[in-house]
Structure 1
Amino acid sequence: MPQSESNVRLRSARHAAGYRSQQELATALGVGVRQVRRWESENPPWPHPDLQQALTELLGQEMESLGFTPPAGRDSRPDPVRRSLVGATVVAAGLAAVPMQSAAAMQPASVAADFEAVTRSHRRLYWSVAPATLHPAAVAHAALGCALLTETAGQTRRTVAAALAESYLLAGRIEFFDLRNGDQAGRTFLLALQAAGQADDSLLGSAILAHCAFIPAWTGDRDAAVERMVAARTYARRGPASAALLAWLDAVEAECETRCGNTRTALHLIGHAEDTLAAGTEHATPPWLDWFTAVRLAAFKGNTQLTAGHLPQARTTLLGVLDDMPATEDKQRTVVYGDLAAVEAAAGDPEQACEYARQALDQLGITWYAMGMDRVREVRRSLAPHQHEQCVRDLDERLYGWSTTVSALAR
């Protein structure tokens, strides 16, 4: 139908919401495509109340803004109870409620891809950019995403919400793993989970919930950690989840159990994760799951073997991790050096322990990672019986240099 004889407002709103064809909108509404054609005609019929509600929720605009004219004597304003429920579906605490918009306020569908592209860039930058530098950028980007949620609808809005959830997840990861601020990370992970709910992305929700489990595990609260892992696995079952995601959930739970002193359970979980990765699935791994590989799983295993007192096995595992680790894994390398130092300290070889600790400090001087520094400090505490030996004193000179001490206190 020529543009001059069609409902341009509805067609524009459909495109802005990410429904490129009339069939896509019809499928989302559960109606036939002929019905959508009628609505996009020159004189669209007034929809049934249920379809009015569905249209305004999917496209984010009032009926008159969508090009519809109510029949004589019919109130075009939405039911106040329904409207309050629609407005309440959007999260609070940073994600402002999304009101129905006028046609002029809606962003084009391309805004979703543009916002998503920046999120992807931040994901890659995490592995090389200093956390204190990247964190403000990720938080500011998330604030933009919150604003875009009020100006998008339908598929466009879901895409923005998913990218927003990933941005908040990245910010929370930096807060917990790099800046060691568990309280702030917990609040940020909550925002990430709320945004994932807006996107209806259960796999991303699973990843966020598993990250939430780290926080109580680090304080020895096993019950809270287990509860969050149960929730994470529930979301993963809504999937379909890839082998990598399922194996990572095992690895996270193993880390939590290790922190709570249950190394036998942790090693069983790691074995299950190894089997899961080996078996694989036909489901693709989400692109945001870039923090987990078979090498990372081996690093988890080496740390658990160390904690369990299986020193020869831990040494073998961790040396294999160093051999297999890609050159880009700077942050994880500091953790592995720290764990190897702990192995040698426990084995009664302070000289070798200090050598690995110095290598960890060398790497930390290039790429800061709070988890890596935590490992070095734990090793130094374990070397207290040898603190008068020259190798330990040399380590102290490195550990308590001006730049290292200031960086540690600043964080």
Structure 2
Amino acid sequence: MPGLPGPPCGGRPAMTGGATLSAAHVLGESARQWPGAVALVADGTRLTYGALWQDALRHAAALRGQGVGPGDRLALLLSNTARFPKAYYGALALGATVVPVNALLRTAEITYILRHSGARALLCEGSLLPEGEPAARAAGVPLLTVAAPGRSPSLDELAARCPPLDTAVPRAPDDIAVVLYTSGTTGRPKGVMISHLNLMMNIDTTMLAPFAMRPDDVVLGCLPLFHTFGQVCVMGTGLRAGARLVLMPRFDAHAALDLMTAERCTVLMGVPTMYVALLQAVRDGGRRPALDRAYCGGSALPARVLEDFEAVFGCPVHEGYGLTEASPCVAYNLPGRPRVPGTVGHPIRGVEVRIARPGTAERIEVLAAGETGEIVVRGHNVMAGYLDDPAATRAAVV
């Protein structure tokens, strides 16, 4: 491929040797290093890294008791509460693959994901049972619950009584950590397979730049954790760095301003509509937290909104680009380099980006500077493929 020496864009050689890697250690290593530091503020409580990791290992043991094992796929239908990281890292510690399900989906859409993913079980929050329970029944998938008093089996109650696993189950770097379903705007959603290597490399790389996460950071978790932006960029990099994650069950601009002020948040990550809403909330008399930096993704942020936000909140806003298939970060306006509003900056470390001629399915023809084409990406972030869809994988990964 011109301009990109080596294997074709996205090409991945087969893994060999005895290396192991588990994304569960995003939390586990931080618990070892900062056991007494507060990891999570959610549900009116504060959990230290040590306590959160032990809860995750208890969830792993409880899941094992319900027949979930290494390599099984566990679907999570959970909102932004402490239950999400407990179940997420518990499943990863068990060696299972996590299938986060959009909490806004309806029964038929959830049913499709359960069937297509071959989920071993669905873990569903009590408030989401009206959609989740009939979906599990239709898909023939066992249902586990959390925060659902009187319902059995209740994973949170089982976990409270279980001795924790001793440690995370080892996995190979190319084992699949998560399957993330795309929005399905052009057809049925596709299951994007993200390996432990994909996930760990994206978290470790972006924790340093662009996010520059530190143990003294306090990060607002207002993005949904079932989505890759909130799951990897907010939860993953925050917990990896030993920062404090402050979760909001649902974004509300006035409540977010109050929460960021009360918890002294230093980092905000959001989508453009959140920035617009926060600016309006300040104009309406809302409090202004002392943020250190902010990051925007998901879609283009209007330059005027970026300039107004920086003026009102007194912190830089870094724009970036990513996609589910890239684990997700591809490029960002990086610290230490000039930021250009309306652009997505430079590729993150270890990732190459070119503009190629569109419509060439079997080869990549890189275009000259200034020409318009489609984005091609190569690096540690490129997905393992689409679950049970070799045709779509061949079309996307050349």
Structure 1 length normalisation: TM-score? Answer: 0.25
Larger % of helix: which? 1
Larger % of strand: which? 2
Q: Choose between structure 1 and 2 for higher RCO, CA contacts under 8 A separated by at least 6 residues.
A: 2
Work out which of the two has the higher radius of gyration on C-alpha atoms and give 1 or 2: 1
Structure 2 length normalisation: TM-score? Answer: 0.26
